[in-house]
Amino acid sequence: MSPGEDGLIGIPFPEHSNELLSRLNAQRRTGLLCDLTLTSHGARYPTHRSVMAAVSLYFRRLFGAEEGEDGDEGVGDSCSVCQLDCVSPDALAALLEFAYTATLTIRSSGMREVLKGAQLLGIQCVADACRDILGETGDNPTNQQLPSRRKQDRCSVTRAVSPVRPVWRSPDDTPECGLLPAQGREGHPPPAEVQDGDTRASHLGRLMNGSSHWSQEFTPIPHRPEDTPSEEEESGAQGRATPHHSQSQGGGASAGSGRKRKSQTPQQCPVCQKIIHGAGKLPRHMRTHTGEKPFQCSACGVRFTRNDKLKIHMRKHTGERPYPCPSCPARFLHSYDLKNHLSLHSGDRPFECPLCHKDFAREDHLQRHRKGHSCLELRTRRPRRGTDPSGSPPSESFGQQHLDHMSVAAAAQLLEGHGGPMQGVPLLTGARMPYPELLWRVVAGPVGKALDKAEGGSSPHGSASVTHRTWEEEDEEQDAAGEEEE
C-alpha cells in the first residue's frame, strides 16, 4: 500500500461469527437481553428479535426489517410475546437451536413438524434441508395442485381449525399489535406440497402474509368478464383461482335481490377458498383461521377477533341493553335477541317442520328439530322411485321426479308456486352437497335467502343441481352422469 493510497484493509476474524452466535445463544439461555418471547402450547422461549429477524423471513417482515418494507407494517418494538401454537414446541425449540447454533438437531420423527415450522416462519434453508431428507420437492409454487374445486368446497364446510395463533401482546396490548406479520414469499420458495396435513401448513404459510400482502397472494375474483385481466391472471395464477367457479359470480351479485352491491372486488381466502365480499373483510376473515384476537376487554380480559364483538361484549359490563321490548320491560343486548323476543309476543312461529308440522319461532330451532329426530327417519323411508306398483308416484314423488335435475332457482319457483314448502321433498343443493341444513332452508326456510345462499354461497357452481339424498344409492349412476355434465 502506497502512502498516498487510503485502501481498505480487511482483516478476517473467522471465529467471530461463531463466537457471536455462541454468546447470543448464551444470552438466550440465561434470558439476558431477550426482548421477544415465543410461546407454543404453553412452552416459552425467550429470544432476541434481531436474531429471529435475521433468521426468519416471517419475523423479518413482522418487525419491518425486510428491505423495502414499510416500517409501520411490522409490529416494531411494541410486541414482546409471540404465540406460535402453529409450531409444535419441539419444532420451535429445534428451530431456535438452529438459529443460535447453525445446527439443526432433531429426531427424524419430528422432521415433518420442523419442516412445517420452518415453512411457516420462513426459514428457508431448514425447510430445504428437511424436504431433502423427507424426499419432497418444494418447487413449483404457483402451480400447486389444489384439490378439485368441488373437493375444496366440501372441505371448506368443516369449521376451520386454528393451528396458527400468532397472538401478539405488547405492554399496552393495542389491537395494532394483533396485526399479522407481513410475509412476502418473493425469493422464497413456497412450502412443499403437500400431503394431507401439510396442506394446511402450506396454506397457512401463505396465510401468515400480512393483510397488505395478501393482495399479492390472494387472488382477487374478477367481477365481470370484461374486467381487465389482472397481472396475476396473466402471470399464471390460474391454478388457484377459478373465477367461473366463484361462489359470488353467478348468484351473488346478480341473482338476487335487486339490492345494490358495491363494486368491491371479492377476495378468495387461501385457506378455506371461501370468497369474502366487502372491502377490508378479508383480514377479518383471516383471523378466524389464525385465532388471532387483537381486541381485549379492558374489564375482564376476554379477547375477541373483532372490535364490534368487543363493543357488544362491553355492554355486559356497562349494563347497557340498548334494545328494549316495546311490550314488556325486557331489554336486550342484541337486536336479534329483541327480534326473537318479539316473536314470542306475537306468537309468530313462521318456521314449520314440513313433516310433523310443528312450528318454531326460530329457524335454527327448526333446523335442530329436523336434524335431531324422527323427521329425518321419515325422510329416509320415502318410497323408492319407480317402485310404486300403481305406477303413479305419490304426491311427494311428484316433486322429486320433477325436481331431480332442476336448478335451485327453478326449484324455488316451483316451491313458491306451491305457496309454501313442498312437504317431504328433501332438496339438496348440489349433487354432493353435504348440508342437510341447506336443504331445510330450501324446503322450509325463506326461499329467497336459501337460494341466495345455495346459488351464490355454498354451491360451487352457479346453479346447482338438485338431487335426492335418500335415493343416492340408486341414483349413483345418474349422479355420476350429472357430475360429468357439470
Partner DNA sequence: CTGGGGAAGGGGCCC
Partner DNA sequence: CGGGCCCCTTCCCCA
Stretch that binds DNA, among 53-61, 101-109, 114-122, 367-375 (CB under 7 A): 367-375
Residue type, 424: G
Residue type, 1: M
Stretch that binds DNA, among 132-140, 372-380, 461-469, 474-482 (CB under 7 A): 372-380
**Residue placing its CB nearer to DNA in the complex, 373 or 384:** 373
Spatial neighbors of 317 by CB under 8 A, at least 6 apart, are 297, 299, 300
For residues 332 and 385, what is the distance between their CA atoms, to the nearest angstrom? 50
The interface with DNA within residues 402-421 (CB under 7 A) comprises none
222 binds DNA (CB under 7 A): no
Can the peptide bond before residue 194 be classed as cis, meaning omega within 30 degrees of 0? Answer: yes
What track of x and - describes contact with DNA for positions 92 through 131 (by CB under 7 A)?
----------------------------------------
441 binds DNA (CB under 7 A): yes
For residues 260 and 289, what is the distance between their CA atoms, to the nearest angstrom? 30
Determine contact, residues 282/478, Cβ cutoff 8 Å: no
For residues 442 and 451, what is the distance between their CA atoms, to the nearest angstrom? 7
What track of x and - describes contact with DNA for positions 71 through 90 (by CB under 7 A)?
--------------------
Smallest separation (angstroms) from DNA to the CB of 114: 28
**Residue placing its CB nearer to DNA in the complex, 29 or 339:** 339
395 binds DNA (CB under 7 A): no
Residue 416 sits at φ, ψ, to 5 deg, of -65, -35
**Residue placing its CB nearer to DNA in the complex, 456 or 482:** 456
For residues 271 and 401, what is the distance between their CA atoms, to the nearest angstrom? 38
**Residue placing its CB nearer to DNA in the complex, 138 or 457:** 457
245 binds DNA (CB under 7 A): no
Strands (E), 290-345: 295-296, 303-304, 323-324, 331-332
What track of x and - describes contact with DNA for positions 332 through 361 (by CB under 7 A)?
xxxxxx-xxx--x-------------x-xx
316 binds DNA (CB under 7 A): yes
For residues 440 and 438, what is the distance between their CA atoms, to the nearest angstrom? 5
| Residues 54-88: b if buried by 16+ CB within 10 A, e if exposed | ebbbbbbbbbbbbeebeeebbbbebbbebbbbbbb
Smallest separation (angstroms) from DNA to the CB of 256: 8
Smallest separation (angstroms) from DNA to the CB of 343: 7
262 binds DNA (CB under 7 A): yes
**One of 25, 27, 144, 215 touching DNA (CB under 7 A):** 215
* Rounded (to 5) percent helix, strand, coil in the chain: 45, 10, 45
155 binds DNA (CB under 7 A): no
Instruction: Record the cell numbers describing residue 317, joined without a space.
Output: 359490563
Stretch that binds DNA, among 24-32, 69-77, 196-204, 268-276 (CB under 7 A): 268-276
**One of 449, 472, 478, 486 touching DNA (CB under 7 A):** 449
CA-wise closest residue to 98 among 76, 124, 74: 124
Residue 313 burial (CB < 10 Å; 0-12/13-18/19+)? middle
**One of 25, 124, 199, 211 touching DNA (CB under 7 A):** 211
**Residue placing its CB nearer to DNA in the complex, 119 or 458:** 458
For residues 187 and 66, what is the distance between their CA atoms, to the nearest angstrom? 12
Residues that bind DNA (CB under 7 A): 211-212, 215, 248, 252, 259-265, 274-281, 283-285, 287-288, 304-309, 311-313, 316, 330, 332-337, 339-341, 344, 358, 360-365, 367-369, 372-374, 437, 441, 445-446, 449, 453, 457
